[in-house]
Amino acid sequence: MTATQQILPQQILIVEDEPLIAMMLEDFLEVLDKGVAGSFDTVADALKRIEEGGVDGAILDVNLRGGEKSTAVAEALAAKGVPFVFATGGGDDGVAPEFRDRPRLQKPFTMDGVAKALEGL
């Protein structure tokens, strides 16, 4: 393992409400030699997983099912010093103002895009 691999997040939390997109991200993470700390489609479930610990990076879909936003998950991660990237198909509209400086992963995802987003964490 190189020094860079030791520094980069290895256990990645996925918060995504589209099952096929979540599975694609899981596959990308496996190819990139990253672990999946869990894949969740609601804020409540993601928050429970964060409290358990062992999450050292995250990919957060901005807009979840039913109008739910991942802002509370971002707040919990930020409070614990866990880096994260927002996944979005749009601009800053859905991102809370306090998190607009955080990295973005633009949809549709590519392997290269996911790799670069994780390197930037």
pLDDT tens profile 16-37: 999 999 999 999 999 999 999 9
The pLDDT, as a whole number, for residue 8 is 66
Is residue 118 one of the residues assigned to a domain?
no
Count how many domains the chain has: 1
Report whether pLDDT(1) > 50.
no
Is residue 24 one of the residues assigned to a domain?
yes
**Strand ranges, E, within the chain:** 11-15, 35-40, 57-61, 84-88, 104-106
C-alpha 98/C-alpha 76 separation (Å) is: 13
3 pLDDT band, cuts 50/70/90, is very low
Report whether pLDDT(2) > 50.
no
C-alpha 53/C-alpha 116 separation (Å) is: 24
Is residue 119 one of the residues assigned to a domain?
no
Is residue 117 one of the residues assigned to a domain?
no
pLDDT tens profile 55-81: 999 999 999 999 999 999 999 999 999
Secondary structure of 31-47 in HEC code, one letter for each residue: HCCCEEEEEECCHHHHH
Report whether pLDDT(114) > 80.
yes
Residue 35 domain boundaries: 11-103
84 pLDDT band, cuts 50/70/90, is very high
Question: CATH number for the domain including 51?
Answer: 3.40.50.2300
7 pLDDT band, cuts 50/70/90, is low
Least confident of 4-13, 27-36, 47-56: 4-13
